[in-house]
A and B are shown apart, each in its own frame.
Chain A
């Protein structure tokens, strides 16, 4: 059963249409990468899914509840960080968490301490948040968003603005949470390669339209094998393989998208045409390239 269901939502700001029939679902245990360039409409979509902005048409269901009609129930088991972690700078980390815990009720001090440990803030939790680094604030934000033990987590570019160390920390935390708590997670980013190591599904959005929505495995399976040949010269190589997909990065290298059964015949062709083959190996396509292939070559950046 899908925990989150977005049904062809549309949104315009004035005359400018931002989202066109955006639909997707997130199931239990899935980590959906919501990927698209800046301005694609990721933040807008997430805000619509949280009721922070009004939906022009379409529906959002969370845990089976219609967000518009049953807001309080739908949002009950949702944790979210949008744009930047929303925390009160003039309070300490602990005070921030206590306030949120108070809103949900029934959260013991031990649970709170446990949570603080989970996000690794136990040493600085009683300092004013204004003294935190952005990474610490992001971790506090994540702690705040999972106080109510949600089964859904929306994270809008959680690694934005963090240094490499911070990115790794936050990523590890998300992976840990996904494993331990079995949440349905939506995580947005403008950078596919940042996510491809741990998301289970990818939803790619461009100019307000979902262009790809599939399991990451499928995206990876698009990984048509590609072979890199090192040769003495590349002159005339393109005409030789005019019927194949070929790339020529430099004077001694070319890459072919072929099946491994074809290798022998390729080699024969090369040798009979006076090319010296120095080496040959398989290269993997990155997720990004796979995506480009799928969408017909538009860059997402």
Chain B
């Protein structure tokens, strides 16, 4: 049997179509990388557009003396915005950097005061500062910007917290809990050195605070969640639990905010890029048997001292090994190109990921290794199912072309069928749905309610036996037609 599998793999590796596949996938990924690197200047365009846009507003007001109040405030807004954007551009400040946040938050007021005097023709602002005073202060702030101390900003915030407590609606039933969380978040930020608007970490914390009341509300209504609200509910639960975990285990740090996540990048080869693997597997599954029928070489195999069942099974095993190789190949290419791409954007990576697991009712922390293995196993179940269906079909037709079309038809057809799930509740019991177990593996709520774990397992085993059995039956009965 292992001899048969070895031979099948040897043949597969030497076929022109397989070599072509490896080259094409490589070229496609390289090409897309080159395109993205060479031509993606969207950020630049955006920021330029903003400055130019503000400039065009300014130009339209600049030389007019007859501005009404609305126009004046428009003009003022454009000037302030223009000042900020030019400073960011001039200093080469990066997006989402603490410097950008500093300019946008802390210097806004000064730019406002300065332009207020210019637009309205006053000699001083409300604080009795002259234009020179303000310009001097702006210069001072720019100096501060150059040696920015984010902690000071947070300290400031915390000191205003007491005032905020008074402002909170004490009658609100979640008030105490909410305030606890608010304080926790601020303390965490001080401890971990995360200033406001500093980066994605602070934004996550911000979102945590915003969503906390609805989280509390949902927790209270737990048993009475309506069906159509389930998704939102799950999302909020998952997010809040994860945040709790991250704060407790101090996973949100200055560096942790940096996207993208290495764990997801490595696994995205199997998920986002799975179309490449699907193409490869359909190609192999459709031809591994059919082509031998078409070329007549199947006779060569059948007159060897092996039963037809062994020959068929060896072909199935070889095709599955081939899928594994495709998976690794796409993973490597995808990871390398993502690293190149993201390095180009000046980012670094994080190597762990946590996610709320609905089956374990707790947050699970993954590293690259176990996250990849879980993704790999769950995707393999799907790939193998597709492979078995295509091979089974190809024993029937013994035509590579028809089987390839069928494979893609099935792949695309599944997408179309999904549209009708509401109407036909049994659709998720079809093999392309039962074999998609990624949610189960990561303990996420099922996409279709009917697909519980036992249903997945039962139907997958059923389908595997069905398709292999059917293929064996057809193959065994097959007469090798005279040419």
CA distance A83 to B479 in the complex (A): 15
Q: List CB contacts (< 8 Å) of B279-308 with chain A.
A: 295-300, 302-307
Provide the residues of chain B in CB contact with A91, threshold 8 Å: 11, 14
Distance (whole angstroms) from the CB of A38 to the closest CB of chain B: 11
Stretch at the interface among B1-9, B426-434, B451-459: B1-9
If A43-B482, A44-B482 touch, whether A102 touches B303 (CB-CB below 8 Å) is: no
Q: Is A1 an interface residue (CB 8 A)?
A: no
Contact between chains at A76 and B305 (CB < 8 Å) = yes
The range of chain B's interface size is 20 to 34
| Residues in chain A within 8 A of chain B (CB atoms) | 43-44, 47, 50-54, 71-73, 75-76, 78, 80, 82-84, 86-91, 95, 99-100, 102-105, 144
Interchain nearest-CB distance for B146 vs A (Å)? 66
How far, in angstroms, from A87 to B16 measured CA to CA in the complex?
A: 16
Residue contacts A-B, CB under 8 angstroms, 13 given: A51-B302, A72-B306, A73-B305, A75-B305, A80-B299, A83-B482, A86-B300, A87-B300, A91-B11, A91-B14, A95-B10, A100-B304, A103-B7
Task: Give the A-B contact count at a CB cut-off of 8 A.
Answer: 76
Which residue from B4, B16, B296, B302 sits with its C-beta under 8 Å from A83? B296
Instruction: Name the A residues within 8 Å of B305 (CB-CB).
Output: 71-73, 75-76, 104
**CA distance in complex: A103, B479 (Å):** 23
Q: What's the Cα separation between A75 and B6 when bound, in Å?
A: 21
B307 touches A50 (CB 8 A): no
Q: Identify the 10 closest CB pairs spanning chains A and B, nearest first.
A: A86-B300, A53-B479, A52-B480, A72-B305, A76-B305, A86-B297, A50-B303, A99-B7, A80-B303, A86-B299
CB-based contact A52/B303 at 8 Å:
yes
Q: Which of A54, A73, A86, A87 counts the most B-chain CB atoms under 10 A from its CB? A: A86
Q: Is B226 an interface residue (CB 8 A)?
A: no
Contacting pair A90 B304 (CB below 8 A): no
Chain A proximity of B151: nearest CB distance (Å): 67
Chain B residues near A103: list those with CB within 8 A. Answer: 3-4, 7, 304, 306
C-alpha gap A213/B337 in the complex (Å): 72
Q: Say yes or no: is B477 at the interface (Cβ < 8 Å to chain A).
A: yes
Contact partner, A90, options B4, B14, B296, B482, Cβ 8 Å: B14
B15 touches A50 (CB 8 A): no
Cβ of B41 within 8 Å of any chain A Cβ, yes or no, is no
Most buried by A among B299, B303, B479: B303
Please state if A90 and B7 are interface contacts (CB–CB under 8 Å): no
Q: Shortest distance in angstroms between A131's beta carbon and chain B's nearest beta carbon?
A: 14
Is B483 part of the contact surface with A, judged by Cβ < 8 Å? yes
Cβ contacts under 8 Å, B300 to chain A: 86-87, 100, 144
B contact residues around A86 at 8 Å (CB):
296-300
Q: When each residue 18-57 of chain B gets 1 if its CB lies under 8 Å from chain A and 0 otherwise, what string results? A: 0000000000000000000000000000000000000000
* Chain B residue contacts of A76, Cβ below 8 A: 305
Q: Which of A78, A80, A84 contacts B296 (CB 8 A)?
A: A84
Q: Is the Cβ of B302 less than 8 Å from the Cβ of A52?
A: yes
Report B297-331 residues with CB < 8 Å from chain A CB.
297-300, 302-307
